[in-house]
Amino acid sequence: MAAFFLWCILFLLCWPLALLAVVLFPVVWLITLPFRILGIAVHGAFALLAALFFLPVRVLRGPRAI
């Protein structure tokens, strides 16, 4: 919602730039999509390594009392 209001203000101040932003936003989103997917994969790989690294500590700690 805030992005829409900011776009409306930009439209009032400089409508050609606002229309260019509307046209280019989907293109930029499509270009950055592979980088987001790669970031999710790298985050998952690091989470797996952290889980494997901390597994002996969790096993030696034993069950937690609830």
What is the structure's pLDDT at 1?
93
pLDDT at 66 over 80: no
Average pLDDT (9-23) is 94
pLDDT in tens, 18-58: 999 999 999 999 999 999 999 999 999 999 999 999 998 88
Predicted local distance difference test score (pLDDT) of residue 48: 97
Would 44 be classed as within a structural domain?
yes
Does residue 6 contact residue 18 with C-beta atoms inside 8 Å? no
Residue at token pair 């500590």:
57
In a domain, 64, yes or no: yes
Give the predicted TM-score (pTM) of the model: 0.60
Task: Judge whether 17 lies within some domain.
Answer: no
| Nearby residues of 18 by Cβ (< 8 Å), 6 or more positions away | 7, 10, 11
How many independent structural domains does the chain possess? 1
Give the residue numbers spanning the domain of 44. Answer: 25-66
Mean of pLDDT values over 5-10? 94
